[in-house]
Structure 1
Amino acid sequence: MTKTLTGVAATLAILLTSVAPAAAEWRADFGTYNIGLLGGENEADRLRRYDCFANLLGDALGVPVELFPASDYAGVMQGLLAGQLHQAGMGASGYAGVYLQNPDAVSPVLTTKNVDDSLGYYAVIYTRADSGLTTMEDLQGKSMAYADPNSTSGYLVPRAELTRAGINDEEYFSSTGFGGGHEQAVIAVLQGQYDAGVTWSSMMGEASEGYTRGNLRRMVDNGLLDMNDLNIVWQSSLIPNGPTVMRNDLPEEARQLAVEFMLGMKDNHPECYVDTVGGEGNGYAEVDHSFYEGIVAMREAELAGSR
Structure 2
Amino acid sequence: MIAQIARGAVNVALATSLLAGSALAQDIDVFRVGLLGGENEADRLRKNDCMVQQLGEILGVPVELYPASDYAGVMQGLVAGQLDAAQLGASGYAGIYLQDPEAVEPAFVALEADGSDGYYAMMYTKADSGIESLEDMEGKSLAFADPNSTSGYLVPKAELEAQEIVIDDYFSQTGFGGGHEQAVIAVLNDQYDAGVTWTSGVGEESEGFSRGALRSMVDKDLLDMSDLRIIWQSSLIPNGPWVNRKSLPQDVKDKVNGWLETLNETDPECYINVSQGEGQGFQAVDHSFFEGVVAMRQRELEGSR
**How high is the TM-score relative to the length of structure 2?**
0.91
Residues 145, 177 of structure 2: 8 Å contact kept? yes
Q: CA RMSD in A?
A: 1.2
User: Corresponding residue for 1:71?
Assistant: 69
What is the deviation of 1:270? 1.2
1:243 correspondence with 2:241: yes
Residues 24, 248 of structure 2: 8 Å contact kept? no
Residues 148, 181 of structure 1: 8 Å contact kept? yes
d(CA) in 1 for partners of 2:58, 2:115 = 26
AA aligned opposite 2:165 = I
User: Corresponding residue for 1:121?
Assistant: 119
User: Corresponding residue for 2:164?
Assistant: 166
What is the deviation of 1:137? 0.8
AA aligned opposite 1:87 = A
d(CA) in 2 for partners of 1:173, 1:86 = 40
User: 5+ unaligned residues in a row in structure 2: which ranges?
Assistant: 1-22
User: Corresponding residue for 2:293?
Assistant: 295
Larger deviation, residues 119-128 vs 55-64: 55-64
d(CA) in 2 for partners of 1:69, 1:82 = 16
User: Corresponding residue for 2:179?
Assistant: 181
* Candidates 238, 250, 253, aligned match of 1:255: 253
SS in 1 for 2:202: coil
d(CA) in 2 for partners of 1:259, 1:26 = 19
SS in 1 for 2:191: coil
User: Corresponding residue for 2:222?
Assistant: 224
SS in 2 for 1:264: helix
What is the deviation of 1:157? 0.2
Identical aligned residues as a percent = 61
Residues 121, 197 of structure 2: 8 Å contact kept? yes
User: Corresponding residue for 2:129?
Assistant: 131
User: 5+ unaligned residues in a row in structure 1: which ranges?
Assistant: 1-24
Residues 114, 202 of structure 2: 8 Å contact kept? no
Q: Where do residues 26-175 of structure 1 align in structure 2 (5 Å cutoff)?
A: 30-175=28-173
What is the deviation of 1:273? 1.0
Larger Rg: 1
How many positions carry a matched residue from both structures? 283
After TM superposition, what 4+ stretches of structure 1 lie above 4 angstroms from structure 2?
Answer: 25-29
What is the deviation of 1:26? 8.1
Residues 142, 175 of structure 1: 8 Å contact kept? yes
What is the deviation of 1:91? 0.2
SS in 1 for 2:56: helix
d(CA) in 2 for partners of 1:229, 1:133 = 13
What is the deviation of 1:116? 1.8
SS in 2 for 1:107: strand
